[in-house]
């Protein structure tokens, strides 16, 4: 694909995203105040949930990496002690 075609596709995607965002803004503006507040609270809770999920996943990966590092350090010691015992 040429650079011009990629630029046109990117521009079309950007325009479509902007149109979708404008439609959401218009729909939100048409809501009564109470529904706006409820919608904003739901969005906030979704974002907090996403942040918590990201933090938990990162902590889990870190714990897995630490456990793997300790496992790798312990394996040579165990193998060495088995060969030297009589």
Domain that holds residue 70: 32-86
Distance CA 9, CA 12 (A): 5
Q: Based on the fold, state whether residues 21 and 38 are members of the same structural domain.
A: no
Structure-model confidence comparison of residues 1 and 53, the more confident one:
53
Q: Based on the fold, state whether residues 2 and 16 are members of the same structural domain.
A: yes
Instruction: Please give the tally of structural domains in the chain.
Output: 2
Convert the pLDDT of each residue in 3-60 to its tens digit. 555 566 688 899 999 999 999 999 999 999 999 999 999 999 999 999 999 999 999 9
Structure tokens at 43: 């969005």
- Sign of the Cα torsion 72, 75, 80, 81 reads positive
Q: Name the residue among 42, 19, 22 with its Cα closest to residue 30.
A: 22
| pTM of the model as a whole | 0.54
Structure tokens at 9: 């596709």
Flag whether pLDDT at 80 surpasses 90: no
Q: Are 39 and 27 in contact (CB under 8 A)?
A: no
């Amino acid at each position: 694909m040429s650079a011009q075609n990629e630029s046109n596709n990117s521009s079309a995607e950007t325009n479509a995203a902007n149109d979708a965002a404008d439609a959401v803004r218009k729909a939100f503006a048409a809501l009564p105040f109470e529904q706006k507040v409820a919608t904003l609270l739901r969005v906030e809770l979704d974002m907090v949930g996403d942040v918590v999920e990201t933090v938990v996943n990162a902590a889990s990966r870190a714990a897995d990496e630490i456990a793997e590092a300790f496992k790798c350090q312990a394996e040579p010691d165990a193998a060495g002690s088995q060969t030297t015992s009589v």
